[in-house]
Amino acid sequence: LLPQPCVLVSLAPVDARTLSAAEAQRRYRLTVREWEVASCIARGMRNDDIARALTIRPATARRHTEKVLAKLGVASRAAVASRLAEAG
């Protein structure tokens, strides 16, 4: 018999983790509120959703979002989740 082609797959856990609140606050100099907003952004929430969830005005959510993007050094909301989920 001829050997059949096969594919060998090895699964190993990736050593990636989401930064804890304390780590993110320390590393990026986020306030507690900015961390809360960053977490919401990372979950895909829009400013109106963030404002409702945190009981703040939409304009305040927008200002916090702008500060979070600047402090994380990213240009888009989509990049926030990537920045918070870094290799451990």
The kind and range of the H/E element at 17 are strand 16-18
Of all residues in the chain, the percent with pLDDT exceeding 70 is 78
On the question of pLDDT at 49 being above 90, the answer is: yes
Whole-model pTM? 0.76
Question: How much is the pLDDT for 11?
Answer: 52
Cβ–Cβ < 8 Å for 38, 25: no
**Cα angle, residue 23 at apex, residues 82 and 46 outer, rounded to 5°:** 45
Question: How much is the pLDDT for 68?
Answer: 97
Q: State CA 75 to chain mean position distance.
A: 13
Residue with structure tokens 């600047």? 70
State mean pLDDT over 35-43.
Answer: 94
On the question of pLDDT at 87 being above 60, the answer is: no
